[in-house]
Each structure stands twice: as structure tokens, then as C-alpha cells.
Amino acid sequence: MWKRRRVDELETVNLLEVSPVRLAAWTEKEGQVVIARPKLFRTGLLGLVDHLLHLLSAKRIRLDSVGSFAWLQLDGDRSVSQVIDLLREKFGERVEPAEERLGHLVRVFRREGFVAYPGWDDEALARAKLADQQR
């Protein structure tokens, strides 16, 4: 009857200090990045729901020029605040408000499984590393 609000454990984290690591496979053609939607690896009923949603969703996501540039900079070495500075240098006023825009993009990337936050998503990073070794 009462709905509980799910509290994200990362609400208190300063996103500007995080250095996201890319997990999803991607290609780049003429400066435009296309991300391949990763398949989730849960089992049971949630795994079945994930599989059905994966079948119904887009398999590839095309990013615009700003999103593509941001994706290429999110390499695990640069923090979000460093990427914001690079976005401002390259695109100027076009990306303002840069903090909100990139913050939203990075949160969506994490929610969709495209990136992981070191120190927070260690299980996802381990799975990605194992998948790379098996290829």
C-alpha cells in the first residue's frame, strides 16, 4: 500500500570527482559514437524480465556530437569535472549548463550499464574484465 522511495546509494557522492569506466562495446565513425546495449546477466524472474526488455529495446544507441565527445573522454582516467572542462573548451556555450548536462548523461550511462564507477560498481567491472578475457 505504501510506496517506498528507493534511495540511490550514490546520491551523496560528488559526481564531479568520479572517473567512470566504459563497459559497453562501441564504435566510432566520423566522430559519432554508437554504443551497443549490453545484455544483463541476472538470473531467475528478473533475468527473464531483463531478457524480454532487451529484446524490445534498441540494440544500438547513436550519440550526438557532444555525447560522442563526452563518451570518448570518459575513459576511467579523467574525472567528470575534467570532462566538463574539455566540453567547455570544445563546444563553448553550446553545452551550458555543462555540469547538469554531463551529470545527467553519466547517470543515464550508468543506469543503462554503459559505464561503471570504480569503488561503487566493482562487481560490474569484474564481470566486464572477465568477459574481455573470454573473448
Q: What are the pLDDT digits (tens) for 20-71? A: 988 888 899 888 999 987 666 666 777 777 666 656 666 778 899 999 999 9
Highest mean pLDDT: which range of 2-6, 113-117, 125-129: 113-117
How much is the pLDDT for 33? 93
CA-based nearest residue to 18, from 68, 67, 81, 71 = 81
What is the rounded average pLDDT for all residues in the chain?
79
Cell of 81: 569535472
Closest to 109 measured CA to CA, from 30, 51, 22? 22
What are phi and psi for residue 14, nearest 5 degrees? -80, 105
Q: How confident is the model at residue 79 (pLDDT cuts 50, 70, 90)?
A: very high
Write b or e for each residue in 108-117: b if 16 or more Cβ atoms lie within 10 A of its Cβ, otherwise e. ebbeebbbbb
**The pLDDT value given to residue 132:** 56
Round to whole Å and give the CA distance between 5 and 23: 28
- Please report, for the chain, the start and end positions of each structural domain, with discontinuous segments joined by +: 21-134
Backbone angles phi and psi of 7, in degrees to 5 = -95, 125
Q: What per-residue confidence (pLDDT) applies to 8?
A: 56
Cell numbers representing residue 88 in the block: 567547455
Q: Best-predicted range by mean pLDDT among 7-11, 12-16, 115-119?
A: 115-119
Give the whole-angstrom CA distance, residue 114 versus residue 134.
Answer: 19
Grade residue 15 by pLDDT with cuts at 50, 70 and 90. Answer: confident
**What is the model's pLDDT at position 32?**
92
The DSSP 8-state label assigned to residue 85 in this structure reads: H
Phi, psi of 107 (to 5 degrees): -65, -40
More reliable by pLDDT, 89 or 124: 89
